[in-house]
Amino acid sequence: MAEEPVNKPTTNEDDDFVDPWTVAGKSETGIDYDKLIKRFGSQKIDEEVIQRFEKVTGKKAHHFLRRGIFFSHRDIHTILNLYEAGKKFYLYTGRGPSSESMHIGHMIPFMFTKWLQDVFDVPLIIQLTDDEKVLWRDLKIEDARQMAFNNAKDIIAVGFDVEKTFIFNDLDFIGKCPAFYQNMVRIQKCVTYNQVKGIFGFGDSDVIGKITFPSIEAAPAFSTSFPFIFENKVLPCLVPCAIDQDPYFRMTRDVAARLKLPKPSLIHSTFLPALQGAQHKMSASDANASIFLNDSAKHIKTKINKYAFSGGQTTVEEHRLKGGNTDVDISYKYLSFFLEDDDRLAEIKKEYESGVMLTGELKKEAIDVITPWIQEYQKRRAAVTDEVVEQFFKLRPLKF
Amino acid sequence: MAEEPVNKPTTNEDDDFVDPWTVAGKSETGIDYDKLIKRFGSQKIDEEVIQRFEKVTGKKAHHFLRRGIFFSHRDIHTILNLYEAGKKFYLYTGRGPSSESMHIGHMIPFMFTKWLQDVFDVPLIIQLTDDEKVLWRDLKIEDARQMAFNNAKDIIAVGFDVEKTFIFNDLDFIGKCPAFYQNMVRIQKCVTYNQVKGIFGFGDSDVIGKITFPSIEAAPAFSTSFPFIFENKVLPCLVPCAIDQDPYFRMTRDVAARLKLPKPSLIHSTFLPALQGAQHKMSASDANASIFLNDSAKHIKTKINKYAFSGGQTTVEEHRLKGGNTDVDISYKYLSFFLEDDDRLAEIKKEYESGVMLTGELKKEAIDVITPWIQEYQKRRAAVTDEVVEQFFKLRPLKF
């Protein structure tokens, strides 16, 4: 029996809506993540967890941890205990590729995953679910594969270590690894239609590919799916991902118990909000809501100045008097993701909330942090050739 | 739009039950195949079809055709027209492997498939659905693969030409052929849960592997699933199979239309009845109901004498007077499958029905036909080594 419910948490009318396909908050301050933790049944990353992270790794916690951007977990202590005992585990994350350029919101889990890889010195597996995109969208196999290949370049440019990272797209890889398909079948045998209906909200008119897809996102959480990397060793897995992917891993953890394999541990991120406000996450399908990784400095400046929702007051006089609201201000939120300097961030918060800093000045702070970050990224991205991608995609042992 | 309904035919209380998992006739004369043709919406193989077979191929029709053992088809004329025009097609059949030895009933579609391969000189693909067995039974992946490998030997011993035949088991092959998985996804995108519920009777508590399995039996009907054989040529396909597999191909034909690929043609066999009577097909799970391919001469003799349901009368006197009933007599039915000599079969029928031939004598006729057939088969089977199997399983171009 599973110790956790695999059913979809009940959603009340005034709850934020979060599933793998839709994120819609009810408040202009964004998703109520504490409430989400309760509904999903995960654990909060509190001060104690952060301190244990620092103690075990001997490194300062990433600012995503310090600032609650990675805010929730399942069994992270299992992983920290393993690391402390000098035992091995691996990281698994992924992405549903899209035709558009990736945006800065997509980078959050990958930036943190790279930090985890560096800190723990462990192998990393990145799945690109191009098959999912074919099933959910009006998209041809060939186009989905190309999208996966292009997105892989964007991901590699985050700076992953080729000796410790394997990237694959389902439409090519599943036909190259019998052990992976065999694990898919093992998983598919443990999960009923009723269960995926409950967890993902699938309906009777959904195509059978969607209904079975969760087994494909689950399979990489078991090391036995990758004999060329792990031989047949059973290694525990840590999945860093945005909280909307949690339903897949609630299911996977239930399956793991039935297959007598280690349950994957999870560490969940919040969403980078859209320019227009924190109710919605940044979305590639809305160009005006997103800052893309291939945007120019001019684009970035224009978008933030024009679209970034402001927590400031309507007149300068009123602003000087009342101060701005960092709980809803998008420029401030972006700074909390991209400005690593805690002291400077605290200073900005204080100045903005007291009315010393005006909205235009806060926007400039955000532009001045994001622009060089993207420019550095674009330099790395330019160096990712087809040959580099092939190295990451090659079925091979990883260093660990 | 599909020109054929993909829904499951409605079944009345007094109809025979026939689906891929259960065959249960209502009458001791066995399944009413004419009624099945009407319910399934297929075409009867009548005298005209047989004559066209003979005209196009220049060969005498196989006795399975002449005697209504292969009794039904879908679009067989498409295939005959192609052959007449000197164009290419291929054959596809399969089997769900079992741990028990295969029995003579399993041989019927394969014997006919071999004849089709010889007559048309075309490539043949044989799928062993070991994944299906894992999903439907309490069976481990490793055991299912071994069963597939053993069953492959039984099938190869029918006499298939290694230069024109590719055999695969899903659990190994799907992880070796990206084009096959890509076609699975294309198919999975065209079929809803409602449809497989209608066609196969799946329910909400069925595991998701079962729900998606029909896409795996459908994929080999498209030549693009096997680029190593057909490059990327789109070739039509003829599927010889027992009528209980028709639901898979009703679905496949519907999908083919949507994917703009040729609909597979079909040619359907009746079932070889169980020893106990024609209501049931021979089943490997009941040793006393079946003549296995590894039975000794003594086994065969004992089983037929002891279990073969008789159409004879209760006393010799009554039998001499009224004669036997070949419509229900299992020994006679087996002769109609295995005795190729039409004249001799007609003679036996006449003698038995007139009371000249007694049940014991009819049983001896059956024993004397089946025993040497199995002994010849066993000689061929003994020659099928692991190396031979490997040749059939090797991904390679076929001669055609």
Q: What's the whole-number mean pLDDT along residues B37-62?
A: 96
Task: Output the pLDDT for position B10.
Answer: 56
**Does B209 sit within 8 Å of A212, measured CB to CB?**
yes
Q: What percent of chain B has pLDDT over 70?
A: 97
pTM for this one? Answer: 0.94
Give me the helix-helix angle, B342-354 and B359-382, nearest 10°. Answer: 150
CB–CB contact B174 A178 (8 Å): yes
- The first and second tokens of residue A101, run together, are 């350029």
% of chain A beyond a pLDDT of 90 = 88
| Pairing status of strand A165-169 against strand A124-128 | parallel
Average pLDDT over residues A120-128: 98
* pLDDT band (50, 70, 90) for residue A30: confident
Sequence-separated (6 or more) residues with CB below 8 Å from residue A150: A97
B5 pLDDT above the threshold of 50: no
Query: What share of chain A in percent tops pLDDT 70?
Result: 97
- Residues near A36 by beta carbon (within 8 Å), at least 6 away in sequence: A16, A18, A72, A243
The residue-averaged pLDDT of A374-386 equals 98
Across chain A, mean pLDDT equals: 94
Determine how many CB atoms are found less than 10 A away from the CB of residue A212.
26
For residue B160, pLDDT over 80 is answered with: yes
How far apart CA A281 and CA A289 sit, in angstroms, is 9
| Model pLDDT, residue B288 | 85
For B110-144, how does the pLDDT look when each residue is reduced to its tens digit (9 = 90+)? Answer: 999 999 999 999 999 999 999 999 999 999 999 99
For the stretch B73-123, pLDDT in tens is: 999 999 999 999 999 999 999 999 987 789 999 999 999 999 999 999 999
In the predicted structure, residue A1 carries a pLDDT above the cut 80: no
Q: From residue A290, how far is each of A94, A128, A144 by CA, in Å?
A: 20, 21, 22
Burial category of A274 from C-beta neighbours within 10 Å (exposed 0-12, middle 13-18, buried 19 and up):
buried
Confidence of residue A7 (pLDDT cuts 50, 70, 90): very low
B202 contact A CB<8A: yes
Q: What percent of chain B has pLDDT over 90?
A: 88
Mean pLDDT lowest for which of A270-284, B289-303, B379-393? A270-284
Mean pLDDT of A333-337: 97
Other C-beta atoms lying within 10 Å of the C-beta of residue A329: 25
pLDDT recorded at residue A41: 95
CB pairs under 8 A between A and B: 132
Q: Which residues contact B237 (CB under 8 A, 6 or more apart)?
A: B89, B90, B91, B92, B220, B221, B222, B223, B262, B264, B265
Tokens for B210, please give them.
């079962």
What confidence score (pLDDT) does residue B11 get?
A: 63
Give pLDDT, residue B303: 97
Among A172, A179, A191, beta carbon nearest to B208: A191
Mean pLDDT calculated for residue range B241-245: 96
Interface test with A, best of B135, B207, B216 (most A CBs within 10 A): B207
User: Which residues make Cβ contacts (< 8 Å) with residue B126, sequence separation at least 6?
Assistant: B92, B93, B94, B95, B152, B155, B160, B165, B166, B167, B168
Q: Does B222 touch chain A (CB under 8 A)?
A: no
SS3 B274: strand
B-chain CB neighbours of A202 within 8 Å are 193
- Across the interface, whether the CB atoms of A174 and B190 are under 8 A apart is answered no
* Over residues A257-278, mean pLDDT: 96
- pLDDT tens column, A199-231: 999 999 999 999 999 999 999 999 999 999 999
A203 CB within 8 Å of a chain B CB:
yes
Copy the structure tokens of residue A134. Answer: 């074919």
ipTM at complex level: 0.94
pLDDT of residue A395 exceeding 60: yes
pLDDT of residue A14: 78
